[in-house]
Structure 1
Amino acid sequence: MQTEKLKTQSPLVKTKYCFRKISNEVSALTTKNLLIFSHNKHITILLLLCPFLICGYLSYIQYIVDSYASRLCNPSPEEISISKIPKCFNQNCITLGIGLTGGSSEWTDYIIDHISKSSDLIKNKDIKVLTTQNAESFTKYIKENTNTTQIGVILCSNYIPLPTNNYIENLHCQETKGQIYAIIYNFTEVSRNIFDPNLPDPIESKVLAVKLAIDNAILSYQARKQGFQNIIIDAVIQSFPIPPNRFLKGYDAVSMTGPLYFFIPPMFVFGLLVSEIVKEKELKLRNGLSVIGVSATGFWLSWFLVALFFSFMTTNSLIFSGYFFKFALFLKTPYLVLLLLFLTYSMTMMILGFMISTLINSVKLSYTVSYTFLLGGLVLQNFFKSPMLMKLFHVEDLPYWVPWVRLAFCYYPPFNFSKIYADIAATAGSTPNFDEKMWEEGLEYTWDNFFNERTGMLYGNSYRIPSSFESFQNLLLNSLILIVLTWYFDHVVQGNRGRSSPIWFMFTFEYWSLKFDYTFLPRFIRKSYNSPSNLKPNDGILLDGLWKKYPNCKTCAVKPIQLSIEKDECVSIIGHNGAGKTTLLSMLTGLLDPSGGIGYISGFDLTSELDNIHQSIGYCPQFNILWDELTGKEHMWLFAKLRNTPISSRNELIDYKLNEVNLGNAANKAVSTYSGGMKRRLSVAISSIGNPSVIFMDEPTTGMDPITRRQVWKLIHNMKKDRVIVLTTHSMQEAEILSDRIIVMVDGEIKCSGPSLYLKNHYGDGYKVELIHENPEVLWGKLNEKIPLLKLLDISGNSVLLSIPRAEPKVAEEFFKTVELMKIQDWSVQNSSLEEVFMKVTGSLKDL
């Protein structure tokens, strides 16, 4: 038998078997995970394109910085001609307003005419004499008529006041016999470049054009008076050459901000994997896998391989994107160094995600935690990306608490990532030279740089930065610590595996599969362990005093149970909600630890040989062990592979099982499109894969239509051969049709057990007889008078419902003889129903 074969195997054979089993689990679950991601194409494509998008964004930032730096640089400024006064564009605006201090004169009229002709300005429209009184009245006019005059000019024809000056007194034009003028303009309108305070003040070309026009007019006037040839001065203006900005030229966005942006792609994978793992836990999919024997090692290794696959893909996508955009840091660094950096960091974050997934139980919370890590990490990375901070962190003369802070950060993976990246950027990327106030182009990064520490001076203090190799070792240490924590929390946190282990589980003999004779322990200690049993296990189920009590509960969920189930037997457990049915099944499948008692399934001890039990049982739980993204056929393939069915007959078996539950036409459709009944049928089909010796079914036909329910009943009936089937149900018809034995549970205790007919005969009220008569009250009076042992159940209309005790055969004989003599219109006889038995045993009949 399979049971004896497993127990008599040598340790070497068992080791090889375990290795093959884990390899098979890893292969099946890894394929399942990749299938899920392949069906979520949009998310997967976005995941792989994320590094390219980030590199494109960094390239755009670099382009903006370079463009701005080039605009600030102007080695050959443009020459601007000021030969003409530009017109004011506003229709009501005066281009040139003239103020005279003593009325018009010969030379002022000549000046106005000359400016009008040389600059193509129309007098009394573009050029207007605003006042001829004095300089004060002109200034007053300007203040009272704001924004109407582009530039004002005061021509001195009499007397003009000058600003207070110790060397120059106020001038009288007639006494000096010269042409004196003053230009008035709004200097506050002259803009400054707020982005670079080092640029010189801008030149007001309009003012210079007015000055040149007036000077040319005065020269022309004087030349005409002296009989000389007309003199014209032409002038242009040009700014000083502007050299490149040394704070921007050579700026490297990848070197300076890389840790901030390259932190993001692994975090996308991090959030996605955490949500998927937690979803399997929340929907109890992992519990279902554990029941059929999937080990925790196989489960985590499959996710590790998926994480490695996506980390490798996103890492290479990032590296080749860096090559594509020609980032100097990537081009000057060996590919293997970049691969080690990004892949190791990404895998460390994935393992951190594994650990977090063992501590949370809802997908909604997993999203919150992932976003918190992403946003919080971005804030920290904003500090870690600074090369200056890395130097300050490693200055030798620091307060005593700084090394402790640095040590704490060494256990935070993104810090080690940023530190290694800063080491690479310090050599291969452009870095700022604060002494020269300029950026220096990077050199080739070599393996010597990877193993050598960096030293230098910072503000008069020496610093020593450990080598990148040392930081890489810290990343590996982070991974190892997180692996240990994942392993520990996966055992002790309730809900990860179904059953949790004590916090000291690693110190127990059971964990290391060692035997210990508890009879040598003192009695007050030994009482907490199961006592040796004289039971002889069979190939079915054997329970001796198995019970369960939840913490903080006064009563037992399942009271001590004595039960034996043989092969070729189908047993139905019925009971009210909360009667302990699911708790009993959870103990038998290993999802819950019994509080005491002894149990054997297929000959294996329920407490010490649970792994072997899982290999020999099938399970159809209340919840469906189904992934919405997979098809029905993919589900059958997954469980067939986990059960190690022969490859040669696997496809044929899958098609046969799907057709058995009438799902052949929906085999290639996603389970998310299935109805509730279709999902239950698929779960029933899955439970029988791998030829298990015991199958547990928890309400297998819930949600099915009558026709499909009949088909599944036929399937379950056929599955009973050479195995044990234990099912729970609320359908009395289902229990009666399928079961060889029916168990009624009440408040965690087995109240009765036996075949349907036995329960009806033993607990039923006897035969029920319905009589139809013109006067039912009179009929009942005569029958009760003649046969006192009859029991009246109901009188309604012309119907009388009676009960004949089954224990008194003579009563039945007397009853039928009496009825034959009465005028009965119609009658019927039936046995007690299973529902009545259930109501009577559970005490519900008294409440009605």
Structure 2
Amino acid sequence: MAIMRQFGLLVWKNYLQQKRQILVTLVEIILPLLFSGILIVLRQKVACKDFPNATVYESYAVDRLPGIFVMQHLQLAYVPGNSSVVRQVAEDVRSSLFLSSVRGFETEEHFENYVRNDPQSGKLLAAVVFEHPFSHDDEPLPLKVSYHLRFTFTPRNAPPREKSELNPNSDLDWHTLSLFPLFQLPGPRERRDKEGGTPGYFREGFLAVQHAVDRAIMRSYNRTAAAPLLRQTRVVLSRFPYPAYIYDVFILAIQNQLPLLLVLSFTYTSLNIVRAVVQEKERKLKEYMRMMGLSNWLHWSAWFLMFFLFLSISVFFVTLLLCIQVSPNGAVLTYSDPTLVFVFLLVFTVATISFSFMISAFFSRANVAAAAGGFIYFLSYLPYLFLWPRYDLLSHAQKLSACLISNVAMAMGAQLIGMFEGKGTGIQWSNLFDSVTVDDDFSLAQVLGLLLFDSVLYGLVAWYMEAVFPGEYGVPLPSYFFVLPSYWCSSPRMALVNEKEEEEDAEKALKGEFIEEEPAGLVSGIKIKHLSKQFKVGNKTRQAVRDLTLNMFEGQITVVLGHNGAGKTTTLSMLTGLFPPSSGRAYINGYDICQDMALIRRSLGLCPQHDVLFDNLTVREHLLFYAQLKGYSKDKIPDEVDRIIRILNLEDKRQARSKTLSGGMKRKLSIGIALIGDSKVVMLDEPTSGMDPSARRATWDLLQGEKRGRTILLTTHFMDEADLLGDRIAIMAGGELQCCGSPLFLKNKYGAGYHMVIVKDALCNVSEITRLVHMYVPNATLESSAGAELSYILPKESTSRFELLFAELEMNREELGIASYGASVTTMEEVFLRLLLPLMEDAALLPEDRDVADERKRVLECQPVVESMVGSPLILQEISKVYSSGESLLAVDRLSLAVGKGECFGLLGFNGAGKTTTFKMLTGDESVTSGDAYIDGYSILRDIKKVQQRIGYCPQFDAVLDHMTGRETLSMYARLRGIPEKYVSGCVENVLRSLLLEPHADKLVRSYSGGNKRKLSAGMALIGGPPVIFLDEPSTGMDPVARRLLWDAVTRTRESGKAIIITSHSMEECEALCTRLAVMVNGQFKCLGSPQHLKSKFGSGYTLLAKVHIEAELEDSDLLLFKDFIESTFPGSQLKDEHQGMVHYHLTDKTLTWAQVFGTLEAAKEKYRIEDYCVSQISLEQVFLSFAQFQHCTQSGRK
């Protein structure tokens, strides 16, 4: 029952997608009809010729040779030459036919030697060979005489390049094997030739010689009696008369053109089948559905049924067009049974679908697969063009072998239908197993059988290829997998240790210095015990996960962190049943992943790194589809779908197709798919990757609200996300668990604390400041003293002494030479909840920022060409972009900007703010509506080719060539940039080393992880040091280590004097890289300046994050008292967030000092049972979010 439900669901999904590709679907149905229309037009144009009277032929005598032989002085050979009676017969024939002479040979072998070796043998007309041994010279002919005639292999008297119905290939032989023409037409064969044409029995003299020999034999028995009889007898020949008939040369068009038109009809369909199947593989949708418990054979079966039904419609109409008379001259197929033609075409479509499935198994990129699939499909028809003219020369085995190619089999079948039409009977169920003529041994039944056999064969090839070469997203089986009993009768893999030992070992593994004690009284939704996974790569074994033991609890979010390749995704793949563990066990809701995966999947929700969305399904249909796939109760599904849409805040997008959603909305929908169906265990693999901060924040709220009653496993590269969401955080490296515990436990364990940054005056006394710091905080360490900044790390356990330290610094600022100072928390990367600043009521009233206006004035007053060549390699002057598809959309609104040498300019903005559009205009991907930009002295409007030679570009999505290695790719770009050949290898090595790509340099790019592809894309932009470099979200998907390396490489490039423009969703990245940045809202700059300038200008006060201890059985009275205390002590403070005893305040009072804040909190620590707190200056991300909100306002205003 479950199988039928899943099958119906897949067919429904495929049907909806096909229906919504209305143009593609119509072309698939109409194209075969158009090609059938060609035959109908030909039928209309080619008229039949009616012969109402019987065709009668004149008779002709055979006692003389054709006139052409008379003057050739031909000889007659005879065998045996030692018989006088044979010699007499030969002489008699010579005189009758006026030949020049006769020549005897003792044996037939002697005659053959003469023919082979003597040039004079060409004078022989024929040889008469008697098949009797003659013992002496005078022995008479026996009464039962037997002889045969031998003529030259090549006819003497045939027209040059003779082509006739019996000889369609113009072969120069006698064609005596065929009783009927291969391709018949109504009417007598070679109707204009009274002698019958091929074979040329009369014109070659055969009949005349035979007649003369027979008469001579009769004379040799009794010359006296035979003479009067022969004088009275005369033999004449005449062709049989032919009854009235209609001559229809159109039948030749059927025989010649029907196969080609059928192939062309279904080529487009074939490439679309390939594209549709591979697209699901490319987008990892197929892999995801397998994780959800969908059998591979169900996936293929649903595709097959859908394509079969759509093609059946085409075939039905094609059959109608071919078999129904739509022209006065008759139907295209006048005599054939329409039902049999329909069955033939239907079987061909089955073979076409299977062929397309087979092609799809070889590819992992949809567009490449479609192009190659269409080409290969048509290419597979070409062998028929070579076989068709030689059809009569092919053996039965050769015909069968050729039909292993489905298009050749179809062409052979179409040809047979044409031949039956020519015969005047057409193909019928009664002659399905008959050949067209007695000379042939091939029938349409054999073609149908071979097409079905091809379908099965292609299906087996697709199954084998997919198993052995699954592509990027699967685990390959050994090439001999089909002979392994384990493949057919898979048994659950048993753990390598017994249950009791396993329990003890697991408990030991979970007790250690870096593993926090597990919370009491919680149910473990996921229990992992000694889980390991090995992969065989060539002859080597790679350990992806090593002895992992970990528990995850209901009602909590467990975050798994680790760099690319740490084993996170492999662990998720094992937990979801994509492949089995090499050893160990894992239990989800009490069920074993090796034995009970079908039960687990009913309550399992997954959100992979990629969006598991179908372009042409709506938000509601996605949720319906995946809820039913999980087996959720049908009655509850509508309410559950409405609930998920509501909590995702996608009500207005309910009926929107997924391809129209923004990136953030797609990720939200993917998370909704994971949550739907009351999933008790939810696994989220980097759910907020690619989201802007505002969307990330909304997603965090969603997950916090949905975690009750669920076990949520989440992986991320964002440390702030882990810190905020994670009730417990597990860190993996090299496939092993390194540590596990609450964020608080890990921060305390790894000694996280505060960065204190002091901006130095000219007379700064560094040694005195350091002495003062150590006096109050003995464990403090000097982090750096570079340029105008001095940085210390203050351990968190010393927070009680911060008040005194900050008070001392405040009192002695002038003596110590301190211009200003501040502190921020050191966490795994950034600890704070990101909160929104107050929302202005009307974004449209937001005035242009002074910094933006000053920049515009500076740019408009300069000489752009000169300035671009000398000081600022990139200048934008009032550049705008309007999209006018239906309603006009102003994407970029009069941007003016100058980016100097050695400057890194950050372009920030909400999704849809116009950042990528700006990049596309500057790189020549999009046209400019108004304004202009100059890069290194060249205008993007007039000299775009020269501009493109002077820029490096890392687009948002990796533009890499899969079949080149990283080294080859960078070498190619180095040469394109004009780097001299002798420096290319050194330049490439530098980039590889700086981005830590050396271990992967000589691997094909298609084998790279997402993070490594991003590194390579960035390297392609940086190599050769072009004057201007554009980086569009360069670090998306990179782990923190890779991100830092990229930042270092970008910083070195900037310091070498290049202008860099970067977009990013990571505020930390902007602070690390950008010398200036601008926030874009609705295509305009809303603020512009250095990161510190923006923080000082738009950020005020402090951010406070505090965790108050709450016991489960008590009311949260401590928390309420603490909140009252904060609001009364720090007037104007704003509560930004509250989660499980954790509160986040924005302290807006600008007069507050660090000492006051820390002193107040230290005093309140015990009274309000504060477990932990941290204070920080307002972050750059909060500045960004304050402007990002205007994007929302304006959009809602427009609505």
TM bucket (normalised to shorter chain) is 0.5 to 0.7
Q: 1:479 aligns with which of 442, 455, 480?
A: 455
What is aligned with 2:1072? none
1:199-218 paired onto structure 2 within 5 Å: none
1:469-548 paired onto structure 2 within 5 Å: 469-495=445-471, 498-515=474-491, 530=496, 534=500, 535=502, 539-548=525-534
| Contact kept? 1:546, 1:599, Cα under 8 Å | no
Residue 419 (structure 2) pairs with residue 426 (structure 1): yes
In the alignment, the residues of structure 2 paired with residue 841 and residue 453 of structure 1 have an alpha-carbon distance, to the nearest angstrom, of: 73
Judged with a 3 Å threshold, the aligned counterparts in structure 2 of structure 1 residues 768 and 391 are, in CA distance, closer, same or farther, namely closer
In the alignment, the residues of structure 1 paired with residue 594 and residue 310 of structure 2 have an alpha-carbon distance, to the nearest angstrom, of: 39
Residue 299 (structure 2) pairs with residue 320 (structure 1): no
Judged with a 3 Å threshold, the aligned counterparts in structure 2 of structure 1 residues 804 and 477 are, in CA distance, closer, same or farther, namely closer
What is aligned with 1:34? 15
Structure 1 runs not aligned, ≥5 long: 1-19, 71-197, 199-243, 394-401, 432-441, 457-462, 519-528
1:241-640 paired onto structure 2 within 5 Å: 249=249, 251-322=251-322, 323=324, 325=326, 328=331, 330-383=333-386, 389-393=390-394, 402-427=395-420, 429-431=421-423, 442-443=424-425, 445-456=427-438, 463-495=439-471, 498-515=474-491, 530=496, 534=500, 535=502, 539-549=525-535, 551=537, 556-592=543-579, 594-607=581-594, 609-640=596-627
Deviation at residue 638 of structure 1 after TM alignment: 1.7
Paired amino acid for 2:429? W
In the alignment, the residues of structure 1 paired with residue 291 and residue 245 of structure 2 have an alpha-carbon distance, to the nearest angstrom, of: 69
Cα deviation code 1:461-486 (max 9, x no counterpart): xx342443233222222222333333
In the alignment, the residues of structure 2 paired with residue 480 and residue 845 of structure 1 have an alpha-carbon distance, to the nearest angstrom, of: 53
Cα deviation code 1:41-96 (max 9, x no counterpart): 112112111222112111223344439x89xxxxxxxxxxxxxxxxxxxxxxxxxx
In the alignment, the residues of structure 2 paired with residue 374 and residue 605 of structure 1 have an alpha-carbon distance, to the nearest angstrom, of: 46
What is aligned with 1:74? none
In the alignment, the residues of structure 1 paired with residue 553 and residue 806 of structure 2 have an alpha-carbon distance, to the nearest angstrom, of: 46
In the alignment, the residues of structure 1 paired with residue 351 and residue 1044 of structure 2 have an alpha-carbon distance, to the nearest angstrom, of: 62
Judged with a 3 Å threshold, the aligned counterparts in structure 2 of structure 1 residues 678 and 776 are, in CA distance, closer, same or farther, namely farther
What is aligned with 1:725? 712
Judged with a 3 Å threshold, the aligned counterparts in structure 2 of structure 1 residues 753 and 824 are, in CA distance, closer, same or farther, namely farther
Residue 724 (structure 2) pairs with residue 737 (structure 1): yes
SS in 1 for 2:689: coil
| Contact kept? 1:548, 1:596, Cα under 8 Å | no
Moved more, 352-361 or 476-485: 476-485
Cα deviation code 1:424-457 (max 9, x no counterpart): 3333x135xxxxxxxxxx135432211334442x
Residue 785 (structure 2) pairs with residue 784 (structure 1): no
Judged with a 3 Å threshold, the aligned counterparts in structure 2 of structure 1 residues 496 and 773 are, in CA distance, closer, same or farther, namely closer
SS in 1 for 2:731: strand
1:115-130 paired onto structure 2 within 5 Å: none
In the alignment, the residues of structure 2 paired with residue 674 and residue 517 of structure 1 have an alpha-carbon distance, to the nearest angstrom, of: 42
In the alignment, the residues of structure 2 paired with residue 624 and residue 678 of structure 1 have an alpha-carbon distance, to the nearest angstrom, of: 10
In the alignment, the residues of structure 2 paired with residue 404 and residue 249 of structure 1 have an alpha-carbon distance, to the nearest angstrom, of: 31
Q: How many residues align?
A: 616
| Contact kept? 1:776, 1:798, Cα under 8 Å | no
Deviation at residue 286 of structure 1 after TM alignment: 0.7
| Contact kept? 2:528, 2:587, Cα under 8 Å | yes
What is aligned with 2:4? 23
What is aligned with 1:651? 638
| Contact kept? 2:7, 2:298, Cα under 8 Å | yes
SS in 1 for 2:471: coil
SS in 1 for 2:678: coil
Deviation at residue 624 of structure 1 after TM alignment: 0.7
What is aligned with 1:111? none
Q: TM-score, normalised by structure 1?
A: 0.65
- Bigger Rg, which one: 1
Deviation at residue 348 of structure 1 after TM alignment: 1.4
Paired amino acid for 1:485? V
Deviation at residue 338 of structure 1 after TM alignment: 1.5
Paired amino acid for 2:422? S
| Contact kept? 1:315, 1:343, Cα under 8 Å | yes
Judged with a 3 Å threshold, the aligned counterparts in structure 2 of structure 1 residues 245 and 797 are, in CA distance, closer, same or farther, namely same
Judged with a 3 Å threshold, the aligned counterparts in structure 2 of structure 1 residues 753 and 315 are, in CA distance, closer, same or farther, namely same
| Contact kept? 1:358, 1:496, Cα under 8 Å | no
Cα deviation code 1:223-252 (max 9, x no counterpart): xxxxxxxxxxxxxxxxxxxxx999975645
**RMSD between superposed Cα atoms in Å:** 3.9
What is aligned with 2:839? none
| Contact kept? 1:257, 1:385, Cα under 8 Å | no
Structure 2 runs not aligned, ≥5 long: 51-191, 193-243, 507-523, 814-819, 833-1038, 1049-1199
| Contact kept? 2:606, 2:674, Cα under 8 Å | yes
Judged with a 3 Å threshold, the aligned counterparts in structure 2 of structure 1 residues 787 and 568 are, in CA distance, closer, same or farther, namely closer
Cα deviation code 1:110-153 (max 9, x no counterpart): xxxxxxxxxxxxxxxxxxxxxxxxxxxxxxxxxxxxxxxxxxxx
Cα deviation code 1:303-331 (max 9, x no counterpart): 11112102211110111112253554644
Paired amino acid for 2:616? E
Cα deviation code 1:148-176 (max 9, x no counterpart): xxxxxxxxxxxxxxxxxxxxxxxxxxxxx
Judged with a 3 Å threshold, the aligned counterparts in structure 2 of structure 1 residues 748 and 60 are, in CA distance, closer, same or farther, namely same
In the alignment, the residues of structure 1 paired with residue 358 and residue 29 of structure 2 have an alpha-carbon distance, to the nearest angstrom, of: 24
Judged with a 3 Å threshold, the aligned counterparts in structure 2 of structure 1 residues 470 and 555 are, in CA distance, closer, same or farther, namely closer
Judged with a 3 Å threshold, the aligned counterparts in structure 2 of structure 1 residues 496 and 651 are, in CA distance, closer, same or farther, namely farther
Judged with a 3 Å threshold, the aligned counterparts in structure 2 of structure 1 residues 481 and 615 are, in CA distance, closer, same or farther, namely farther
Paired amino acid for 1:738? L
State the structure with bigger RCO (CA 8 A, min sep 6), 1 or 2: 1
Cα deviation code 1:483-538 (max 9, x no counterpart): 333333332322387333333434445434554898xxxxxxxxxx9555544696
Residue 829 (structure 2) pairs with residue 835 (structure 1): yes
| Contact kept? 2:719, 2:830, Cα under 8 Å | no
Deviation at residue 599 of structure 1 after TM alignment: 3.3
1:128-147 paired onto structure 2 within 5 Å: none
What is aligned with 2:838? none
Judged with a 3 Å threshold, the aligned counterparts in structure 2 of structure 1 residues 533 and 513 are, in CA distance, closer, same or farther, namely farther
Judged with a 3 Å threshold, the aligned counterparts in structure 2 of structure 1 residues 830 and 279 are, in CA distance, closer, same or farther, namely closer
Judged with a 3 Å threshold, the aligned counterparts in structure 2 of structure 1 residues 468 and 706 are, in CA distance, closer, same or farther, namely same
What is aligned with 1:50? 31
Cα deviation code 1:233-275 (max 9, x no counterpart): xxxxxxxxxxx99997564522442222123333332221111
Cα deviation code 1:811-830 (max 9, x no counterpart): 76677667767836799887
Judged with a 3 Å threshold, the aligned counterparts in structure 2 of structure 1 residues 385 and 630 are, in CA distance, closer, same or farther, namely farther
SS in 1 for 2:537: coil
Judged with a 3 Å threshold, the aligned counterparts in structure 2 of structure 1 residues 329 and 530 are, in CA distance, closer, same or farther, namely farther
Q: TM-score, normalised by structure 2?
A: 0.47
Cα deviation code 1:382-422 (max 9, x no counterpart): 35666xx54443xxxxxxxx454333223222333334334
In the alignment, the residues of structure 1 paired with residue 580 and residue 558 of structure 2 have an alpha-carbon distance, to the nearest angstrom, of: 22
Judged with a 3 Å threshold, the aligned counterparts in structure 2 of structure 1 residues 61 and 413 are, in CA distance, closer, same or farther, namely same
Paired amino acid for 1:835? E
| Contact kept? 2:604, 2:680, Cα under 8 Å | yes
In the alignment, the residues of structure 1 paired with residue 450 and residue 788 of structure 2 have an alpha-carbon distance, to the nearest angstrom, of: 90
In the alignment, the residues of structure 2 paired with residue 292 and residue 307 of structure 1 have an alpha-carbon distance, to the nearest angstrom, of: 24
Deviation at residue 793 of structure 1 after TM alignment: 4.2
What is aligned with 2:892? none
Deviation at residue 620 of structure 1 after TM alignment: 0.9
Paired amino acid for 2:586? G
